[in-house]
Chain A
Amino acid sequence: MKKIFAIAWKDAIIRFASSSEFLFFIILPLIFTFLVAGGTPSGQPTNNRTRLVVVDQANNTISKEIIAELENSTAAYPDVLSLEDAEAEFDARRTDAVLIIPADLDLASIQNGTAELEFRQQPNNMDASIAKRAAQTAIRSVSSSINAANMALDEAKANGTFESSEAEQAYFDDALKLAKDMQADTPERITIIEGNTTEEVDYDPRANSSAGQMVTWVFIPLFGISALFAYERQQGTLRRLLTTPTTKAVFLLGTISGQVVMALVQMTLLILFGMFALDLNWGREPLALFVLLTCAALAAGAIGTAMGTFVKTEGQASGLSIMAGMVMALLGGCWYPLELFPAAVQTIVKILPTTWAMQGLIDILLRNASLPGILLESGVLLGFAALFLSIGVMRFRYE
């Protein structure tokens, strides 16, 4: 036991000899967790509507009313830019549609029917069509009272003539005021009820980010056990161990258990960040969480051990650990929800430990699973640990 502790302690000293290790141990995981969660503590995306670039050359009450109506749209939102920027974005295809409100848009131009707005859209683009519909609704909403007053004037002309153009204008102004009052009193004719739809995809950006980044940033250093072996082998310290009464099992146990404990400390810090910064309920099932995290750490540590028996240099091991960790994290659903993957891919990725670790963490966090609910995931992770540890022990050589 003393030897196991001594080996684990020695590994901790080697690992944290450079202060830059803290970058990878805690600072980068926190930055990634925050950014992948959406860059906001609430984790809510700032907008899920289609972007419509608006160029407001009129800059008057009517143009502002159109923009305000677009703000209220449920399908598109306005982003006001200068003509030059809008054209540059459109030409570079960074925006699907541009609405240009010309400088000559005013009440008189609407009244005499000469008001025109320009709408530029990318070809055969659904988002542009959605934005166009939103623009039409906003324009209609702003111009409907003027349209109503025009209609009233036409009807009046059909029933007689006006004594003068001033009388005609006065009639229009009165009708416009009446129409605006009526528009303000228009009753709501659409009731929106939110359905009780069961989420097929359990997705909360904060939860997925917290769980996913924890798996990513803990698996990579645990795979890095391979680099530790390569380092010791290159330094010749593994050979020196041959001269001491230390068995292969004790050495491996000391190395793996030390790294697993460090991983548990790292995961605890990330969980605390999730709880206090992202308001996630990680503390609901602490026993289930502890069991799952320990199994995940053992599986990753065992894979690192097995990898360590294949690589020759520390550099190779380091590169391989980062690459394998990132690829497994991506395919295991740590960056994007697994449920959004194509069905065939969802099945294939079950061969990865990251998939099971992520599944278990999401079960605990979003599906309220307790210990019995994550036994399958924990069992599979222990299976990975047993398999790769066996490979590691069988292939392990001091030289």
Chain B
Amino acid sequence: MTKTFLIGIKDLRLVFRDRAALILMLVAPFLLTLGMGLVTGRFSGNTSGIADIPVVIVNQDDGELSTALVDLFNSEDLADLVEPTLSVSPEAARLQVEEDKAAAAIIIPAGFTRSIIPQQEDFAAGNTPEVVEIELYANPTRPTSAGIIKSILDEFMSRVEEGSIGAQTSILQMMISGRITPEQAQAAGEEMGKNLQNAAESDSLSITLNSTTQGEEVEFDVLAYLAPGMALMFLMYTVSYGGRSILAEKTQGTLPRLLVSPTNSAQILGGKVFGILLTGIAQMLILIGGTSLLFQLKWGDPLGVLILVLVAVFGATGWGMLITALARTTAQVANTGSAVMLIFGILGGSFIQLDQMPASIQTMSRITPNSWALDGFTTLALGGTLADLSAPITALLTMGILLFLASVALFGKKNLVQK
């Protein structure tokens, strides 16, 4: 046990004396995290997310429904989501969209309300009102914001239509069943028309939507996603570097020397693996400490972070051992290790968010320790605790065990650590 420990400590010391290794283990992830923070505006106070969507409204109608629509956009309920301004000119409103000063312009033409709520003279003349459409002039460069404005309009129109259909159904059905005469229907229609404005402003649904807010409010720091992403990517470099040292010891002749001492091959291999684990843990903890101190980054529940670091390093070390077991030379380990580091980096979400990727790529990402560990670190940064990490911890432990077993089998076949 002491020998295993000593070999591990010796490897740890060697790594931290190698300036070239330190560049990729510590300097590169730190600088890339810094760069990510700069380009995302994390250090200049920029916030991400959708809020205060600028929208211009032109109300040429001035009827009850158009007023209700303008009131809706100015309501307390939408205060954080939209920032409406009123304009009298449709051309000016469209220009604001074309100059990218607004996500959309809503132009309510004259006659909109009357097209849905006929007036007394319309009933008297027996006129069927023409359909008058609201124009949504959408900014194609802000599809998400324009889509949200469209959904607000849709909801408003669905309320109006619901009221309108309800009124018409009531009157027609009463007429069909002979409960009222056509003359009474006109009076009833006028009365119900007046209630339509209330329907447009009403939130009532025939299906109740019980809304509950759960959990504590947490402001997500974008760096809490980017920093672990970079640390995990360069962790893959560290584990392949460690694996390379096994082959390097053989070519440099230090492995045969170790084997002539009273040290068995299991102790040597165990010591090498222990060294890789120690180096990976040290690397992750230094990066976590550094980013916490310099960027005031909150990684979350300390116990959760520590356990996640341990299992992430274990899973990654499994990959490092497999690469070493499959390679014949140190150069092969270095090249394959660098390639795996980069592929796992992009597949694991270090460069790009995977949410928008096709399902096949999201599934493929699950072979990487990066993806599972990044999930765990994001959960912790959002206020989760160790109890919420069962899936990433189980996945990383399973990954590590399977890869270690495969590596041991391959090492056995190659007789790498034999006297």
With an 8 A cutoff between CB atoms, is A12 at the interface? no
Q: How far is the CA of A150 from the CA of B214 in the complex (A)?
A: 34
Q: How far is the CA of A307 from the CA of B25 in the complex (A)?
A: 20
A-contacting residues, B197-216, CB 8 Å:
203, 205-216
| Inter-chain contact B151/A110, CB cutoff 8 Å | no
Query: How many chain A residues have a CB neighbour from B under 8 Å?
Result: 113
Interface centre among A151, A194, A200 (most CB of B within 10 A): A151
Which residues of B sit under 8 angstroms from A178, Cβ to Cβ? 169, 172-173, 176
| Inter-chain contact A126/B131, CB cutoff 8 Å | no
| Inter-chain contact B356/A123, CB cutoff 8 Å | no
What 0/1 readout, one digit per residue, does chain B (150-185) give for beta carbons within 8 Å of chain A? 111111011111100111111111101101100000
The minimal Cβ–Cβ distance linking B77 to chain A, given in whole angstroms, is: 9
| Inter-chain contact A137/B154, CB cutoff 8 Å | yes
| Inter-chain contact A132/B213, CB cutoff 8 Å | no
The minimal Cβ–Cβ distance linking A333 to chain B, given in whole angstroms, is: 8
The minimal Cβ–Cβ distance linking B54 to chain A, given in whole angstroms, is: 13
Q: How far is the CA of A287 from the CA of B173 in the complex (A)?
A: 75
Q: What is the chain B residue whose CB lies nearest that of A128?
A: B213
One of A23, A123, A147 near B206 (C-beta < 8 A): A147
| Inter-chain contact B170/A152, CB cutoff 8 Å | yes
| Inter-chain contact B162/A192, CB cutoff 8 Å | no
Select the stretch in B132-140, B279-287, B410-418 that faces chain A.
Answer: B132-140
A120-B214, A129-B81, A148-B169 given as contacts; is B131 within 8 A of A48 (CB)?
no
| Inter-chain contact A194/B140, CB cutoff 8 Å | yes
Which residues of A sit under 8 angstroms from B352, Cβ to Cβ? 35-36
Interface centre among B155, B169, B352, B357 (most CB of A within 10 A): B169
| Inter-chain contact A137/B165, CB cutoff 8 Å | no
Which residues of A sit under 8 angstroms from B49, Cβ to Cβ? 126-127
With an 8 A cutoff between CB atoms, is A281 at the interface? no
Which residues of A sit under 8 angstroms from B36, Cβ to Cβ? 330
Q: How far is the CA of A188 from the CA of B383 in the complex (A)?
A: 45
A318-B20, A327-B31 given as contacts; is B170 within 8 A of A116 (CB)?
no
The minimal Cβ–Cβ distance linking A155 to chain B, given in whole angstroms, is: 4
Which residues of B sit under 8 angstroms from A350, Cβ to Cβ? none
Q: What is the chain A residue whose CB lies nearest that of B155?
A: A137
Q: How far is the CA of A147 from the CA of B23 in the complex (A)?
A: 67
A36-B346, A116-B210 given as contacts; is B151 within 8 A of A130 (CB)?
yes
The minimal Cβ–Cβ distance linking A222 to chain B, given in whole angstroms, is: 17
With an 8 A cutoff between CB atoms, is A165 at the interface? no
| Inter-chain contact B166/A147, CB cutoff 8 Å | yes
- Chain B interface, DSSP helix/strand/loop, else mixed: helix
What 0/1 readout, one digit per residue, does chain A (113-150) give for beta carbons within 8 Å of chain B? 10111111111101101101111110111111111111
| Inter-chain contact B44/A342, CB cutoff 8 Å | yes
With an 8 A cutoff between CB atoms, is B409 at the interface? no
| Inter-chain contact B18/A315, CB cutoff 8 Å | yes
With an 8 A cutoff between CB atoms, is A383 at the interface? no
Q: How far is the CA of A172 from the CA of B411 in the complex (A)?
A: 77
One of A93, A175, A183, A331 near B379 (C-beta < 8 A): A93
| Inter-chain contact A156/B80, CB cutoff 8 Å | no
The minimal Cβ–Cβ distance linking B204 to chain A, given in whole angstroms, is: 9
With an 8 A cutoff between CB atoms, is B85 at the interface? no
The minimal Cβ–Cβ distance linking A127 to chain B, given in whole angstroms, is: 7
| Inter-chain contact B98/A198, CB cutoff 8 Å | yes
One of A38, A171, A197 near B100 (C-beta < 8 A): A197
| Inter-chain contact A130/B343, CB cutoff 8 Å | no
Q: How far is the CA of A61 from the CA of B124 in the complex (A)?
A: 42
Q: How far is the CA of A47 from the CA of B144 in the complex (A)?
A: 10
Q: How far is the CA of A135 from the CA of B207 in the complex (A)?
A: 11
Q: How far is the CA of A336 from the CA of B357 in the complex (A)?
A: 16
One of A127, A160, A189 near B133 (C-beta < 8 A): A189
Which residues of B sit under 8 angstroms from A90, Cβ to Cβ? 214
Select the stretch in B8-16, B253-261, B334-342 that faces chain A.
Answer: B334-342
Q: What is the chain B residue whose CB lies nearest that of A182?
A: B165
What 0/1 readout, one digit per residue, does chain A (303-323) give for beta carbons within 8 Å of chain B? 000000000010110111011
Q: How far is the CA of A313 from the CA of B21 in the complex (A)?
A: 12
What 0/1 readout, one digit per residue, does chain A (295-307) give for beta carbons within 8 Å of chain B? 0000000000000
Q: How far is the CA of A350 from the CA of B310 in the complex (A)?
A: 41
A156-B179, A195-B97 given as contacts; is B131 within 8 A of A187 (CB)?
yes
| Inter-chain contact B358/A196, CB cutoff 8 Å | no
Q: How far is the CA of A74 from the CA of B81 in the complex (A)?
A: 15
Q: How far is the CA of A327 from the CA of B140 in the complex (A)?
A: 32
One of A46, A76, A137, A322 near B357 (C-beta < 8 A): A46
A175-B169, A323-B31 given as contacts; is B212 within 8 A of A140 (CB)?
no
Q: How far is the CA of A182 from the CA of B167 in the complex (A)?
A: 11
Q: What is the chain A residue whose CB lies nearest that of B342?
A: A28
A49-B147, A117-B210, A183-B165 given as contacts; is B356 within 8 A of A92 (CB)?
no
Q: What is the chain A residue whose CB lies nearest that of B179?
A: A159
Q: How far is the CA of A336 from the CA of B39 in the complex (A)?
A: 8
| Inter-chain contact A335/B351, CB cutoff 8 Å | yes
| Inter-chain contact B206/A115, CB cutoff 8 Å | yes
A195-B98, A313-B20 given as contacts; is B179 within 8 A of A126 (CB)?
no
Q: What is the chain A residue whose CB lies nearest that of B96?
A: A195
Q: How far is the CA of A116 from the CA of B208 in the complex (A)?
A: 5
One of A123, A146, A200 near B215 (C-beta < 8 A): A123
Q: How far is the CA of A88 from the CA of B388 in the complex (A)?
A: 8
Which residues of A sit under 8 angstroms from B215, Cβ to Cβ? 91, 93, 122-123
The minimal Cβ–Cβ distance linking A223 to chain B, given in whole angstroms, is: 13
The minimal Cβ–Cβ distance linking A77 to chain B, given in whole angstroms, is: 10
One of B21, B35, B116, B214 near A315 (C-beta < 8 A): B21
| Inter-chain contact B154/A190, CB cutoff 8 Å | yes
| Inter-chain contact B155/A133, CB cutoff 8 Å | yes
With an 8 A cutoff between CB atoms, is A18 at the interface? yes
Which residues of B sit under 8 angstroms from A23, Cβ to Cβ? 335, 339
With an 8 A cutoff between CB atoms, is A341 at the interface? yes
With an 8 A cutoff between CB atoms, is A344 at the interface? yes
The minimal Cβ–Cβ distance linking B149 to chain A, given in whole angstroms, is: 9
Which residues of B sit under 8 angstroms from A39, Cβ to Cβ? 357-358, 361
Q: How far is the CA of A221 from the CA of B314 in the complex (A)?
A: 31
Q: What is the chain B residue whose CB lies nearest that of A150?
A: B206
A48-B143, A118-B210 given as contacts; is B35 within 8 A of A190 (CB)?
no
- Listed by A's residue number, 29 A-B pairs whose Cβ atoms lie within 8 Å are A20-B336, A28-B339, A31-B346, A38-B356, A39-B361, A46-B356, A51-B355, A73-B151, A74-B150, A88-B391, A93-B384, A115-B206, A118-B210, A119-B211, A120-B213, A123-B214, A140-B205, A143-B206, A147-B166, A152-B173, A159-B180, A179-B165, A190-B136, A193-B137, A198-B98, A319-B23, A323-B24, A326-B32, A327-B28
| 8 shortest interchain CB distances as A-B pairs | A315-B20, A75-B151, A74-B147, A319-B23, A151-B166, A20-B335, A93-B382, A148-B166
Given A75-B150, A151-B167, A322-B28, output 14 extra A-B contacts at Cβ < 8 Å.
A21-B335, A28-B343, A38-B356, A40-B358, A74-B150, A74-B154, A118-B212, A151-B166, A156-B177, A174-B177, A189-B131, A197-B99, A316-B19, A344-B44
